[in-house]
Structure 1
Amino acid sequence: MFRVSLRSWLVLAVPVVGVLVLTYSATTSEPRASADWQATEPLRDSPLPAGGTAQLSKCGVGEWPRPAPRGKGEQSKAPSLVFTSWGFYDPGSKMPGEPSFTVHAAIRTGDRPLVLDAPLAKGRVTLDLYGPHGEGVRASARGLTATVVESGYMSKPVEVPASGSFRVEPGKELLLDVELPAGAVCPGHDLADVIKCSPEHTNDVADCPVLTLTLADPAVRAYRAGTTGDSAAGSFSDRLVAVSMELETSQV
């Protein structure tokens, strides 16, 4: 398993090497305070400067990292959304830019192309981060937009094709970045330590946070319906879901 070590001067890359199995200890939806912070009054959701909403009302809430399906095919292998890495980056005082926490992911398709309009899933991306040992939600944002990027270190955004859409070919993948807004991080944490394990230096995956990324697009629903030949396209989910560590539970 991987071990996360936070350093303010380095992008933390956490490769996803396979499906990890974790028995999640959260069995209640009641808020649970972290060791460093306890709410004196209920937190409210609030708009984010760059768009979207910080779901601070979820802070400390223990819920299953994989959301309940909202249609058929949500856990199908094609198309799929997978994590490639994630991490915190601080450019320091001598470099341009602000500290950031970025999730890197990829969309993969099956034996048919998948065409997605640009901007990618505008306002239809959610990002949640759950602390270990029943801590509950550490960060939560909805209404985000993914950025399609090139491969490589510090990947740069890809220009929107003249067609106005991105085409994912069979055997290829569409790389994307999603920024975790600082305003979506719960009190008691910040962008630098939101992914920290507990204890920090551990080889046990159960000591580390779980990330959940979702992306919704009508093209995903149409693709799933076309794959099965089902004429009732509305019964299929339009959402792609990636969970960094899957659950060993009957609720999945």
Structure 2
Amino acid sequence: MFRVSLRSWSVLALPVVGVLLLAYCEGTPEPPVASAERVRDSALPGGGTATLSKCGLDDGPRPAPRGEGERGTDPQLVLTGWGYFDPGPKEKGEPSFTVHAAIRTGDRPLVLSAPPAAHRITVDVFGPHGEGRRASARGLTATVVDGGYPSRPARIPETGSLRIDPGEELYLDIPLPAGAVCPGQSLVSINRCSPEQTNDAFDCPVLTLTLADPAISAYRAEAAGAGSAGEPSDRLVAVSLEPNTSEV
């Protein structure tokens, strides 16, 4: 009776496995994956910094609070939409990835200087299932818009002050530059789910937006009163999806 040793089986199996692996790789295109190699931060052409040293780092999506009131809802930063847009050859403009947001206030008006949180806005896009950052930028500046679709720049008062009264919203557009996208990704791929055809929100990327402004800490300090023990945070944070913010 002819017997093949375990070593012989391994030798015979290797070519078969190699053929199957080759066929799989050629027939199943993989989505771009951020490089595991750390890259350096770099300046962005329009201002701000691409924090590429954080690519692949899974330390989000919500940053640690840096003061009191950051999880409150007065005032509040709300994500109203985000994504990639290509105007095509028949329209003006370049392909872009834009984050749309709004600032709401409670029972008191909030007054910000224009542009609000200038050079103090951050955007991070985290891949699902612990993939880590797909894009990361610091020091961005928002454009105040009218809230329509497509949005258009709003008229800024001559005083340079932006007043948000109770029940009203201040709409902002924040562009995410292509230079802030991690290696192996693109402005299109950073927003892809894994798997792409899914009904589960946790299969999709999470976007984190923060903005900081001295007027925010002043607003919170006034609400807290003189007896408050902690220093109020000057930052607003919006996260597109969290398991349960009361438990984080």
TM-score bracket relative to the smaller structure: 0.7 to 0.9
Contact 2:34-2:55 at 8 Å conserved across structures: no
The CA distance in 2 between the partners of 1:212 and 1:187, in whole Å, is 19
Q: Which has the larger radius of gyration?
A: 2
Aligned partner of residue 221 in structure 2, secondary structure = helix
User: Is 2:95 the counterpart of 1:96?
Assistant: no
**Structure 2 gap segments, 5+ residues each:** 1-29
Q: How many angstroms does 1:196 deviate by?
A: 0.6
Contact 1:222-1:233 at 8 Å conserved across structures: no
Aligned partner of residue 246 in structure 1, secondary structure = coil
User: Is 2:192 the counterpart of 1:196?
Assistant: yes
User: Is 2:170 the counterpart of 1:174?
Assistant: yes
The CA distance in 1 between the partners of 2:33 and 2:80, in whole Å, is 31
1:133 match: 129
Q: How many angstroms does 1:80 deviate by?
A: 0.4
2:20 match: none
TM-score by length of 2: 0.84
Q: How many angstroms does 1:247 deviate by?
A: 3.2
The CA distance in 2 between the partners of 1:40 and 1:222, in whole Å, is 41
The CA distance in 2 between the partners of 1:55 and 1:35, in whole Å, is 22
The CA distance in 1 between the partners of 2:130 and 2:148, in whole Å, is 35
| Equivalences for residues 96-245 of structure 1 within 5 A | 96-230=92-226, 235-245=231-241
1:143-173 Cα offsets, whole Å, 9 max, x none, are 0011110021111111221111110000111
Contact 2:36-2:56 at 8 Å conserved across structures: no
Q: How many angstroms does 1:248 deviate by?
A: 3.3
Output the aligned Cα RMSD. 1.8
Q: 1:249 to 1:241 in 2, by over 3 A?
A: closer
TM-score by length of 1: 0.82
The CA distance in 2 between the partners of 1:247 and 1:73, in whole Å, is 20
Higher relative contact order (CA 8 A, sep 6+): 1
**Structure 1 gap segments, 5+ residues each:** 1-33
Which of 37, 47, 64 lines up with 2:60 in the alignment? Answer: 64
Aligned partner of residue 190 in structure 2, secondary structure = coil
The CA distance in 2 between the partners of 1:48 and 1:185, in whole Å, is 11
The CA distance in 2 between the partners of 1:248 and 1:40, in whole Å, is 29
Contact 1:221-1:233 at 8 Å conserved across structures: no
The CA distance in 2 between the partners of 1:47 and 1:153, in whole Å, is 31
The CA distance in 2 between the partners of 1:166 and 1:61, in whole Å, is 36
Q: 1:121 to 1:240 in 2, by over 3 A?
A: same
User: Is 2:72 the counterpart of 1:81?
Assistant: no
* Between structures 1 and 2, the one with greater helix share: 2
Aligned partner of residue 247 in structure 1, secondary structure = coil
The CA distance in 2 between the partners of 1:121 and 1:249, in whole Å, is 25
The CA distance in 1 between the partners of 2:212 and 2:167, in whole Å, is 21
Contact 2:208-2:238 at 8 Å conserved across structures: yes
The CA distance in 2 between the partners of 1:233 and 1:123, in whole Å, is 29
Aligned partner of residue 220 in structure 1, secondary structure = helix
The CA distance in 1 between the partners of 2:226 and 2:89, in whole Å, is 56
Compare 104-113 and 234-243 and name the one that shifted more.
234-243
1:111-162 Cα offsets, whole Å, 9 max, x none, are 0000000111110000000000111000000000111100211111112211
Q: 1:38 to 1:238 in 2, by over 3 A?
A: closer
